[in-house]
């Protein structure tokens, strides 16, 4: 698949998810959490911007609800694939942050709304990144994190498909 086809497919298969009323995990949000909630509420799936999510330290995706992750995932995939534009932006390149956000950890509950087709699509996007942007991954010194993430998502795809 081409990058364009991967993006289109992502929007199609994640289109079943409506925008949730609560986008941040905690109902007792601190000022930063309230700012993140307001930002995400002000965005539609396709209007989330690189500058909204590219900061590794200050990022609304870190504490997003499972429903919010399912809703915004196609846009996150699109932003992660847009490495050429990312490098021209004032924001940090998003691929690094994206890998950290979907890397296996104790917060995997945020993907609980995903089914086989969703896991498999993310696996396909990660394989595309591996095939087309491995030099960028090496340049960013994120080979280990990328490999762990790729294996985990593709294993979930295989596991869910059986």
How far from 9 is each of 2, 17, 40, 74, CA to CA, in Å? 10, 14, 23, 9
More confident residue, 85 or 46: 46
Q: Which of 107-111, 124-128, 146-150 has the lowest mean pLDDT?
A: 107-111
- Is the entire prediction scored with pTM above 0.75? yes
Res. 32: pLDDT tops 90: no
Quick one: pLDDT at residue 141?
A: 87
């Amino acid at each position: 698949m081409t990058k364009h086809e991967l993006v289109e497919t992502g929007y199609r298969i994640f289109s079943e998810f409506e925008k949730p009323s609560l986008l941040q995990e905690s109902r007792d949000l601190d000022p930063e959490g309230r700012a993140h909630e307001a930002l995400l509420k002000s965005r539609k799936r396709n209007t989330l911007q690189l500058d909204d999510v590219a900061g590794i330290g200050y990022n609304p995706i870190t504490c997003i609800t499972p429903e919010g992750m399912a809703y915004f995932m196609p846009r996150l995939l699109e932003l992660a694939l847009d490495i050429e534009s990312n490098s021209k932006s004032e924001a940090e390149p998003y691929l690094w942050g994206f890998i950290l956000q979907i890397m296996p950890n104790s917060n995997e509950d945020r993907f609980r709304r995903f089914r086989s087709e969703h896991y498999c699509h993310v696996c396909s996007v990660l394989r595309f990144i591996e095939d087309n942007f491995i030099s960028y991954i090496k340049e960013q010194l994120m080979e280990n994190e990328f490999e762990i993430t790729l294996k985990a998502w593709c294993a979930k795809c295989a596991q869910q498909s059986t």
